[in-house]
Structure 1
Amino acid sequence: MRKTKWQGWGPAEQAEQHYLVEPRTLAGGGDIRHVSEFLRASGWRDKSKPGGPLAMESPDRAVRISYDPHIQPGGWTIHGTARGHQAEWWAVLGRQAPVEIIAGLTDALTQPRSAHAPNVWAPLEEQHWQTRPEGRHYTATSPDGAAWMHYRQDGHGNALWWTGAKDRQGNGWTAQFAPTTPLHLVQAFSTALASPEPAMRPRGRVPHSAQIRTTSVSVLPSQLSAWQHARNAAARASTWARNSVRSPRPRTTPRPHAASGAFRTRR
């Protein structure tokens, strides 16, 4: 384990010990606010009941996201309703799926779809995952062998995405996507899945696994707050920009009947 000391601490704050965990696929679930606060800043409605599981709904009510760790197997459920040419779809992800990877998918739900055709495998290949065809199926495995992504196709041509990560002790998580899940969302997930960036976890929240590498860092509470604030501010700014484009432009010239400098008196 490496140890790093961050400079620039203020005298009024006490630094807290955190760990950068690699690979991120085995970092454990993390703080779900990483997901929920970004969605809230993007205009999503918090439908959670007091003391109940997390429940979020998109502004157009087309997508619902829930997280419940108290049921078996527990974890994340994302459900999209049928709209236009898009059929109903769903995704289920285990509770130990890192929030940084979950956010790859959920952040994409708040953003416009790219005009480019999605390629689920491209982000994995860029990070040197091993890919191999198996008849009508396709598999990608991370260089360390801990994470995978499978594409399965049944006799009717229906596709199913199955992915996850496990260490040698069997600890980890799995996720599944419905055949109708939009491919750009699956690609957003695979991009986050393959990212080499470590995940940060506080002391006491690092999984016990021989396959992870940790770097100890001392972090100020204000730094953690600033990082989250910057992430949420970016979500609010992006949402505002999209809404501004969709709303009518304000009138910049006077109406024909409104003479400049004239006032009409109501009788």
Structure 2
Amino acid sequence: MKKKQWQGWGSGEQAVQHYLVQPRALAGGGDVRHISEFLRASGWRDRSKTGGPLVMDSPDRAIRVAYDPYTQPGGWTIRGRATAHHREWWAQFGQQTPVEAVAGLTDALARPRSAHAPNVWAPLVENNWSTASGKGHYTAISPDGAAWMQFRQSQGGEAIWWTGSRDEHGNGWTGAMSASTPMHLVQGFSTELASSEPVMRPLGHVPASTRIRTRSVSVLPSELAAWQQARITAARAATWARANAPRVRQRSATSRPRLTDSSRSR
């Protein structure tokens, strides 16, 4: 079925009220397309069935990202199968986990790894989260005390990453990642979770909490579309660059000018 074009686009469009929300840990889930459209633009396959959960597979089918709002507690499930270079791993986040934080992990799945060693705690400390250790746990807590991230290890030696957020009413979300989750993915999550930048939520989708700060903004639908398209375009460009890098290197190597006898004698 073809999607109908929104009739308000163009010169006659009307601004829609949105809110910039801080801290992002308490902003609510947000639009899942922030994640799915980026992965799709990065070459991931959409395996979702009509009316069912979102299911997306990496190009090599080694990783699956799923979002299920139809079950309880529901939310995000991300799994990576064992490979020659890494053990099997998993991550799970509740439905109210901000998509921007989850995208910190899922975006990293579609990007080249940095040459620098990952540091999960650095983004938290840089944003003034307090840290403490004890009884096999290492914990970072947000400045307002509403969010946390913890590496916890049981007496039996089992370990997980545990994270979440709670407002004054006890509402919020929790998430967990296996100890085998690649560290650069965990850092991607912690970076976006701790970011001091506000996130945008539409009218009617802002949690009722005295712990959040909001600023009302009027946004044109075309502006929202442009911001979303910029993220998708960047993903497509990066995917194209990775896919064509070997071809470009080979072409540049074979296109080097050959020295003639006259040039050698100069």
Aligned to 2:183: 183
Structure 1: which 5+ runs fail to align? 1-9, 254-267
Identity of aligned residues (%): 66
Aligned to 1:246: 246
Letter in 2 for 1:92: Q
Structure 1, residues 185-220: CA drift from partner, whole Å, max 9, x if none?
A: 001100001000111011111111111111000000
Aligned to 1:229: 229
Using the alignment, how far apart are the partners of 1:179 and 1:82 within structure 2? Answer: 14
> Would the alpha carbon gap of residues 117 and 157 (structure 1) be closer, same or farther in structure 2, given more than 3 Å must change?
farther
Aligned to 1:168: 168
Specify the SS of the correspondent of 1:204: coil
Structure 1, residues 43-79: CA drift from partner, whole Å, max 9, x if none?
A: 0000000111100000111100000011011000000
Structure richer in helix, relative to its length: 2
CA RMSD of aligned residues (A): 1.6
Letter in 2 for 1:51: G
Using the alignment, how far apart are the partners of 1:221 and 1:108 within structure 2? Answer: 28
Aligned to 1:263: none
Alignment of structure 1 residues 113-192 onto 2, 5 Å = 113-192=113-192
Aligned to 1:17: 17
TM-score normalized with structure 2 length: 0.89
Aligned to 1:204: 204
Aligned to 2:59: 59
Using the alignment, how far apart are the partners of 1:49 and 1:11 within structure 2? Answer: 36
Deviation (angstroms), 1:140: 0.4
Using the alignment, how far apart are the partners of 2:145 and 2:246 within structure 1? Answer: 45
Deviation (angstroms), 1:143: 0.1
Deviation (angstroms), 1:247: 4.0
Structure 2: which 5+ runs fail to align? 1-9, 256-266
TM-score normalized with structure 1 length: 0.88
Using the alignment, how far apart are the partners of 1:174 and 1:229 within structure 2? Answer: 30
Provide runs of 4+ in structure 1 moved above 6 Å. none
Letter in 2 for 1:104: G
Specify the SS of the correspondent of 1:190: helix
